[in-house]
Structure 1
């Protein structure tokens, strides 16, 4: 298609082989001297062994190829920041894209384009820009929908000697380790590499307190993130009444 030879921004979606986390790479493509644009950039990524994780691409452009370098730089920057803030996907961009230097009028125009892109992305099934939760942890503890389940973990760490206490919310998308949870800061030697990477990238203060909500696809990955090593999340996560997640899931199956 001719519009794929234009300039624009693109999203590469995939899943981590190690943690089963959703992954996204957000990039931009300008029209080159040879007339190639978005499609050629996607082909370059497909040939790159370091970016072989993606299985789906979503591109945004215009009908009249009106995006120049400044516009696509601004869009790439904004989309990256929105995805990082929502924290649903692991954003694979190594560098923070430059926002460029645009006028207020152009910024308003591009923000309208971003709002449109959010709607399209949601319709395609990617909740890339939707926050995990709009409420602070205190509110979540009090208000949990019927489809969700609030879970807790408390155990003394043999590595640091500290009592690790964390909370987690089961949703229809996975398991969200909640902001305010106490995270073990010392990794076990057996920690899965993908979980180790998530721990390194997470916002955890000097006291081991998690400063953001983080979504995991399984209870064991969520528990491993908290403990810093292999652990059975079905057994470790429990309700406030001490009922394990395994017991709950067994009762739900019956």
Structure 2
């Protein structure tokens, strides 16, 4: 079971949309988030004038393909001035440096490579790096230290609203503990020979890769799900497979009902449609967990 972490966010201007400085208890690292419109102000922050890694980000919006670029520099704020002219898509940067002097060029090259690889595997954002950066050679102890740095970086990045490093699918448990979470259950939905699997997570409902999507749709299909369906057809998230479509990657939707509607091609109740391996509906498990709380 995980344990709690104390995260401190300092709002430099007293507003959540301005420059924010993030620290985690017992972590030597730090994060600075800055809107592109305030980039010139980062020169006033010594924390940004150190070796580190940075994420250029397109702020997240529901069910759209967001973008990110991951870079490194021995003086991050100077490099960002160059990126401002080279990259057009981003509207926010998040910088990660160390409070001490222990991050070397080899360390930040290692971090850049690992973060790019993790982001590509997570497949939440389109990563704008042309290639995965080469991973620098580090002693075993230093590699472990950087992996620990990444774990805290992941928390800080997510706290700032960007889950670039988080896999879409949550880990499921083979044995449910005494305080089970809804994300520990997997569900299936079958209708007219179409079969799909999914999972309720903190982000929404994840429809698993390989799930069937109906080729036919009815007038009762809500407009938003119809728009998502058309987008998925256009970007290759679903592809033709005989008399149906097939989902090519794990994909997050706002609700279980949206997922059920996309699979069936008609209006459906997600909480009633999705069933676990014991024949219990998503709705009944939600109620069970609430009763046991």
TM-score, normalised to structure 1's length?
0.59
Does the 8 Å CA contact 2:58/2:67 hold for their aligned counterparts?
Answer: yes
* 1:199 is aligned to 2:237: yes
What's the counterpart of residue 2 of structure 1?
Answer: 46
Give the deviation of 1:176 after TM superposition.
0.3
What's the counterpart of residue 128 of structure 2?
Answer: 93
Q: Quick one: which of 80, 87, 90 aligns to 1:42? A: 80
Number of positions where the alignment pairs a residue of Structure 1 with one of Structure 2 = 217
Residues of 1 paired with 2:253 and 2:236: CA distance?
10
Q: Any gaps of 5 or more consecutive residues in structure 1?
A: 32-36, 157-162, 246-254
What's the counterpart of residue 250 of structure 2?
Answer: 213
Residues of 2 paired with 1:111 and 1:225: CA distance?
38
Note the 1:1-254 alignment, pairs <5 A: 1-15=45-59, 19-20=63-64, 23-31=66-74, 37-48=75-86, 50-52=88-90, 54=91, 56-62=92-98, 63-64=100-101, 66-68=103-105, 70-87=106-123, 89-94=124-129, 95-131=131-167, 132-135=169-172, 145=181, 153-154=189-190, 163-179=193-209, 181-182=211-212, 192-193=230-231, 196-197=234-235, 199=237, 213-217=250-254, 222=259, 235=268, 237=270, 238-240=273-275
Give the deviation of 1:75 after TM superposition.
0.6
Does the 8 Å CA contact 1:7/1:65 hold for their aligned counterparts?
Answer: no
Give the deviation of 1:198 after TM superposition.
5.7
Does the 8 Å CA contact 2:198/2:206 hold for their aligned counterparts?
Answer: yes
Give the deviation of 1:9 after TM superposition.
0.8
Residues of 2 paired with 1:76 and 1:44: CA distance?
18
**C-alpha distance after superposition, 1:41-64 (max 9, x if no partner):** 434444456424x4x322111233
Residues 1:72 and 1:91: Cα distance change in structure 2 (over 3 Å): farther
Residues of 1 paired with 2:110 and 2:258: CA distance?
35
More strand by share: 2
TM-score, normalised to structure 2's length?
0.53
Residues 1:42 and 1:14: Cα distance change in structure 2 (over 3 Å): same
Residues 1:110 and 1:169: Cα distance change in structure 2 (over 3 Å): closer
Residues 1:168 and 1:113: Cα distance change in structure 2 (over 3 Å): closer
